[in-house]
Amino acid sequence: MNELERILRADLHDVAGTVDIPVRLDTVAAVRDRMAAADHRTRWGRIALAAAVAAALVLAAVWFAQAVLFRTPDTAVPNPLQTPSEPAPAPSADPSAQPPTTTPSAVPATPSPSASAAATPVDPGERTVGMFVYFAATESFPNLVREVRQVPAQTPARGALEAMLAGPSDPESVTLWNPDTKILGISEHADLITVDLSREAEDFNLGAAYEGYMVDQLVYTITEAFQPTFRVLITIEGRPFVTGHNVYDQPMTRGEGTDSPIRLVIDTPAQDATVSSPVRVTGLAAAFEATIMWEVRGTGPEAPVVAEGVAHTDEGMVLAPFAFDLPPLGPGTYVLRITLDDPSAGEAGPPASETKVFSVR
């Protein structure tokens, strides 16, 4: 170190000794408290963030368990349709059996069997069940009628709709749906059934009244495979069913297409059935004062009436079951006609009537 450096160092030391830096203890304490508070907030922020992440993980785990591990399998076709309870095979007809009491909103879901009921084609050896399939009557419109069809037990809903599209065996009734319609999917979620059809379903030429019966025809048929009170949503290739008269974008129950789609139904004898005498006649009717008229003729154009009479439903003015036996008939082919009592004497239009051709052994 030279002389000049020693002089400068001595001068700096002397000057530094004259500098007075005041230090206040309360200021130091305030700074310390601020630093401690900032550290506290940071620590609780980290804890809150960790809790939020943990809660999100728990919610994700619950969703995964419900949506994947414990999810009810979707019943959409092409997977086999799993119905709430598989319909039991149709039992043998019992002439003494009385049909169950019913109302317009709850037509029996288990059809009466018929030895001659038309069958939907199924694979040989495949188990089938009897299912009511609904059609529109041509002789007594407006009126829905029904036939028993044998459909695959594993896919009764699809089988019933396919039978509906294929058409009836009775020449006095028709299907209102385009027979080229394809069933793209059927799914069940709680009490809602969704039926997805191909665009051919929109290809029809019906008035507003027939359109309502067309919708009811499908709703009544598909709910036979589930529960009569279930709701049905019809879609066309995944979009709402839109026609020239209505937009069917909401689920529907039985009878929402029309006020009273069923007025008269003959369940037995079935069309072209061969039965033994006495012939048991059963069905449903919404009859004034619970009264229906019946007659039996031969099949010729001038065939005379061989028997006629009056029968009664279980209850008047509402859709209710009826059951009665025809008088003894000899072997041959006959035409049974049932007509509702008409208190207006024709002023309200022709009364509902239905016929069935059957043979007696």
Nearest-angstrom CA–CA distance, 189 and 204 = 29
Nearest-angstrom CA–CA distance, 97 and 77 = 37
**353 and 340 in contact (C-beta within 8 Å)?**
yes
**99 and 112 in contact (C-beta within 8 Å)?**
yes
The larger pLDDT score, comparing residue 315 to residue 4, is at 315
With a cut of 50, say whether residue 92 has pLDDT above it: no
Structure tokens at 209: 């009244």
Weakest mean pLDDT among 48-62, 181-195, 232-246: 48-62
Determine how β-strand 273-275 pairs with β-strand 353-360.
parallel
CA 338 to centroid of chain Cα atoms: 31
Nearest-angstrom CA–CA distance, 101 and 340 = 19
Q: What proportion of the chain, given as a percentage, has pLDDT over 70?
A: 68
Q: Is the pTM of this model over 0.75?
A: no
H helices of 20-104, in order, are: 25-64
Which residues pair with residue 337 across a beta bridge? 295, 355
Weakest mean pLDDT among 21-30, 106-115, 309-318: 106-115
What was the pLDDT predicted at 255? Answer: 85
* pLDDT (average), residues 54-71: 51
Nearest-angstrom CA–CA distance, 204 and 198 = 13
The per-residue pLDDT for range 95-133, each reduced to its tens digit, is 333 333 333 333 333 333 333 344 456 677 789 999 999
What was the pLDDT predicted at 258? Answer: 76
User: CA dihedral defined by 69, 74, 79, 85, rounded to 10 degrees?
Assistant: 100
Give, in degrees to the nearest 5, the angle at Cα 181 between 104 and 183.
75
Q: What proportion of the chain, given as a percentage, has pLDDT over 90?
A: 54
What was the pLDDT predicted at 214? Answer: 94
* Residue-averaged pLDDT of the chain: 79
What was the pLDDT predicted at 301? Answer: 85
* Amino acid identity, position 141: F
